[in-house]
Structure 1
Amino acid sequence: MNPTDGIFAGENPYEIARAWLAEATITEPNDPNAIALATADSAGLPDVRMVLLKAIEDDAFVFYTNHDSDKGRALAENPQAAFVLHWKTLRRQIRVRGHVAPETETASDAYFASRALESRIGAWASDQSRPLESRAVLMQRVEQLNARFGDAPPRPPHWGGYRIIPQSIEFWADGAHRLHDRFRWSRESALNPWVVQRLYP
């Protein structure tokens, strides 16, 4: 039984998440889809950074990045992640924890092709997370790659998507006197039904 109502109501957590993000798209001044993504390496050392959530699908949350970046290497060693979406204007947040799998080549190609030309060139030019001698070196690489690819750069082999397949999704809304409302959807695997629980603030 789903004990939720109001802004928390629904039979599907992905639909609730999409509805909240749609509201935030109207109220947030910048990047309503920005998530603080946490990963951990094989030694368990955590790291966190902001990335852009690009899709809320019916079974996963999707983002794209350089596979050779710090986060890409951490996910190769330990394919689990967590993130939080936080919206100051709505005073709400969504927390997600789960396993991570690569996005399909087809989906990664399609999303890459939809990006601005400058961003596609940038994906080639940046050895993300590696030391950089100067900005001039980066801009020189951009010029060289513009000359090489023109207006049709293909997707780099080191760049693509990740799917976070959640084991838990928590919806949080600010309450007076710090008496917040929290509902957690959890399940052991994608084959199990969701269990919904109200949590203490």
Structure 2
Amino acid sequence: MGRWIMILKLIYGFMAQAYGQEIYPSHSKHQLQLIVSHTQIHSRLDASGDRKWQSLPSWGLNYNFQLSNKWKIGFHNDIIVEDFQVASIGRNESEVLDRRYPIASALVFSRKLGRHFQLLLGLGGEFAESQSFLLLRGGVEYGYHFNENWELITNLTNDFKWNAYNSWAIGLGVTRMIQ
């Protein structure tokens, strides 16, 4: 019995040491992310005017500043690289919105949850030729450091655009840590 307790203490000590280590080097306060993603829109209209679920290609370019070991603030930018029409979910549900390469930008706060996951919450806008909309962004991100200065990331974000439409995106990208 004493031997099993000793083995469990060793395993616990090893895990506590491994998870207690700082994930980001203390000198890496700045981070740049490049993400390729697909934005999902349920209320997209097809050629006949019917609502349809659509996956549209998009890119993300994000900057984050490390405030502490757990908190970051960032400027997150996405562009859908396609034109599309979407039915409004705002005051006038019969309104059709033409979106031409919309760019969504948001000021985002991130909170680390353990070693790899973090929650995202931010406020910003989606901008296009026809109209711009206020948006609220929420999401979750998973990061895996494969080098001291590089991280592989995947994320899932949801953008709620007031008086417009909702979209969510799933992406894969890289983060470069900068001193």
Normalising by structure 1, we get a TM-score of 0.24
Q: Which has the larger radius of gyration?
A: 2
